[in-house]
Structure 1
Amino acid sequence: MYTFEDLIRIVEKLRDKDKGCPWDKEQTHESMKKCLTDECQEVLLAIDNKDTENLCEELGDLLFQVMIHSQIGKEEKEFTIEDVVDGICRKMVYRHPHVFGDVKVSSTAESNELWKILKNNEKGKKP
């Protein structure tokens, strides 16, 4: 079975300037926008159809979009997949102090309100 590390290496190889795939090598963040939209729509369709087998495949396609954007970011010295993973981990831990800290919530509504407050704090907005 392949691993996340394998996926990183596969995407790197697809975009390798000497031996990579011509299509993959010429992609940019901008050129990939339609692909990203299409893959999101296919994930939603699989959910709507309760097609879990296809959902798994479509989530893989969506993950590929994240990976190729991250590889482009790495090549452009903007960000890496490690930065993406670190960023989402930090965000989830920060926005869930009721799971990763000492804050207590007793309902989904309280959890959602806490999320909104913390998100606004992160973005420098007033609640």
Structure 2
Amino acid sequence: MKERFEELFKILKLDRKVSPWSQRDTFEKRHSELVKEIEEIKLAIQNKDTENLKEEIGDSLWDLMCVMVVAEEKELFTAKEVIEGAIEKIKRRKPWIFTGEKITIEDEARLWQIAKAKEKQNKQ
């Protein structure tokens, strides 16, 4: 899967380099496209249409990755930093999944909220 993810990212970077249409992409344009794709995911879920759901998730991934390509191009942050940030956030918010510790759904919700509050406090 890692290779396929990297291949997709390279394709999107190439697209940005050689396609005049893709070169006009902005965060705002990608946001608009992403909102549309998320709505299509919602409809696929409501319709229990797994084939369409798979396609719409792919379209959403495409749009998200295009945002990362634009961000890298503008030297704002890298895709690697985004992925590392997501991994670290999961580790902070759900440490028990790595230890095998069994917790209740109530404890999980409580610990999640505590972790989010700490993150918010640390940002201030």
| Structure 1 length-normalised TM | 0.87
1:15 aligns with 2:12: no
What RMSD, in angstroms, separates the aligned Cα atoms of the two structures? Answer: 1.9
Task: Measure, in 2, the Cα distance between the counterparts of 1:48 and 1:109.
Answer: 27
1:31 positional shift: 2.1
Q: What are the within-5 Å matches in structure 2 for residues 1-127 of structure 1?
A: 3-16=4-17, 20-101=18-99, 105=103, 107-124=104-121
Unaligned runs of at least 5 residues, structure 2: none
Task: Measure, in 2, the Cα distance between the counterparts of 1:118 and 1:104.
Answer: 18
Task: Measure, in 1, the Cα distance between the counterparts of 2:56 and 2:100.
Answer: 37
Task: Measure, in 2, the Cα distance between the counterparts of 1:82 and 1:35.
Answer: 23
More relative contact order in 1 or in 2 (CA 8 Å, sep 6+)? Answer: 2
Unaligned runs of at least 5 residues, structure 1: none
1:46 positional shift: 0.8
Q: CA offsets per residue over residues 11-55 of structure 1, 9 Å max, x none? A: 001100xxx211111111022221011011011111111111111
1:73 positional shift: 0.4
* Number of residue equivalences: 121
4+ residue stretches of structure 1 with deviation over 6 A? Answer: none
| Structure 2 length-normalised TM | 0.89
Name the % identity: 37
Quickly say closer, same or farther: Cα 1:5–1:21, change in 2 above 3 A: same
